Structure 1
Amino acid sequence: MTTADLKTTTARPARQAAGRAAPRPPGSGRWRSAALTLGAWVAGLLFFLPVAWLVLTSLHSESDAASNPPAVMAPLTLDNYREFFGTSIWEGPWPPLINSATASLASTALVLLLALPAAYALTIRPVKAWRDTLFFFLSTKMLPVVAGLLPVYLFARNIGFLDHVWLLVILYTSMNLPIAVWMLQSFLSEVPSSVIEAAQLDGARLPVVLGRVVAPIVLPGIAATALICFIFSWNELLFARVLTGVRAETAPVFLTSFITSQGLFLAQLAAASIAISLPVLAAGFAAQDKLVQGLSLGAVK
Structure 2
Amino acid sequence: MAIRAVARSAGPGIERAPIGIAVAAWVIALIGFFPVLYLVATSLKTEAAAVVLPPTFIPLPGINLAPTDMPPFTFAPTFEQYQTILDRGFGPFFGRSLVAVISSSIVVLILAVPCAYALAFRMVEGWQDTLFFFISTKFLPPVGIIVPIYIIINNLQLLDNIAALLIMYTAMNLPIAIWMLRSFFEEIPPDVIQAAEVDGANVITLITRIILPMVTPGLTATMFIGAIFAWNEFFFAVSLTATKAATVPMFMIGFVTSEGLFWAKLAAAGTMAMLPVVIAGWVAQRQLVRGLSLGAVK
TM-score range, shorter chain: 0.7 to 0.9
The Cα of 1:165 is off from its aligned counterpart by 0.7
| CA–CA distance in structure 1, aligned partners of residues 55 and 293 of structure 2 | 42
The Cα of 1:222 is off from its aligned counterpart by 0.5
Q: Which residue does 2:286 correspond to in 1? A: 289
The Cα of 1:82 is off from its aligned counterpart by 2.7
Q: Which residue does 2:151 correspond to in 1? A: 154
Q: Which residue does 1:70 correspond to in 2? A: 55
User: What does residue range 53-68 of structure 1 map to in structure 2 within 5 Å?
Assistant: 53-68=38-53
| CA–CA distance in structure 1, aligned partners of residues 280 and 211 of structure 2 | 24
| CA–CA distance in structure 1, aligned partners of residues 150 and 112 of structure 2 | 26
Provide the identity percentage: 47
| CA–CA distance in structure 1, aligned partners of residues 267 and 254 of structure 2 | 13
Q: Which residue does 2:265 correspond to in 1? A: 268
After superposition, the C-alpha distances for 1:169-197 in whole angstroms (9 at most, x for unaligned) are 01111111110011001100011222223
| CA–CA distance in structure 2, aligned partners of residues 55 and 128 of structure 1 | 53
Q: Which residue does 2:20 correspond to in 1? A: 35
Unaligned runs of 5+ in 2: 1-16, 57-72
The Cα of 1:203 is off from its aligned counterpart by 2.7
The Cα of 1:199 is off from its aligned counterpart by 2.5
TM-score normalised to structure 1 length: 0.84
In our comparison, the structure showing a higher alpha carbon Rg is 1
User: What does residue range 160-171 of structure 1 map to in structure 2 within 5 Å?
Assistant: 160-171=157-168
| CA–CA distance in structure 2, aligned partners of residues 83 and 254 of structure 1 | 12
| CA–CA distance in structure 2, aligned partners of residues 286 and 252 of structure 1 | 25
RMSD: 1.8
| Residue 89 of structure 2, aligned match among 88, 92, 96 | 92
The Cα of 1:66 is off from its aligned counterpart by 2.1
| CA–CA distance in structure 2, aligned partners of residues 117 and 134 of structure 1 | 14
| CA–CA distance in structure 1, aligned partners of residues 270 and 129 of structure 2 | 41
| CA–CA distance in structure 1, aligned partners of residues 123 and 156 of structure 2 | 37
| CA–CA distance in structure 1, aligned partners of residues 193 and 295 of structure 2 | 18
Contact 2:47 2:264 in 1 (8 A): yes
Which letter does structure 2 place at the counterpart of 1:134? L
Q: SS where residue 180 of structure 2 aligns?
A: helix
Q: SS where residue 139 of structure 2 aligns?
A: coil
Q: SS where residue 138 of structure 2 aligns?
A: coil
Contact 2:218 2:291 in 1 (8 A): yes
Q: Which residue does 2:67 correspond to in 1? A: none
Shifted more, 121-130 versus 176-185: the winner is 121-130
Which letter does structure 1 place at the counterpart of 2:80? D
Residue 207 of structure 2 corresponds to residue 207 of structure 1: no
Shifted more, 34-43 versus 134-143: the winner is 34-43
Q: Which residue does 2:121 correspond to in 1? A: 124
Residue 110 of structure 2 corresponds to residue 137 of structure 1: no
Equivalenced residue count is 268
Q: Which residue does 2:175 correspond to in 1? A: 178
Unaligned runs of 5+ in 1: 1-31
Shifted more, 218-227 versus 196-205: the winner is 196-205
The Cα of 1:84 is off from its aligned counterpart by 3.1
Q: Which residue does 1:106 correspond to in 2? A: 103
Which letter does structure 2 place at the counterpart of 1:111? V
Runs of 4+ in 1 over 4 A off after TM superposition: none
| CA–CA distance in structure 1, aligned partners of residues 41 and 185 of structure 2 | 44
The Cα of 1:126 is off from its aligned counterpart by 1.6
Which letter does structure 2 place at the counterpart of 1:80? Q
The Cα of 1:246 is off from its aligned counterpart by 0.2
| CA–CA distance in structure 2, aligned partners of residues 47 and 58 of structure 1 | 19
Q: SS where residue 109 of structure 1 aligns?
A: helix
Q: Which residue does 2:64 correspond to in 1? A: none
Which letter does structure 2 place at the counterpart of 1:169? L
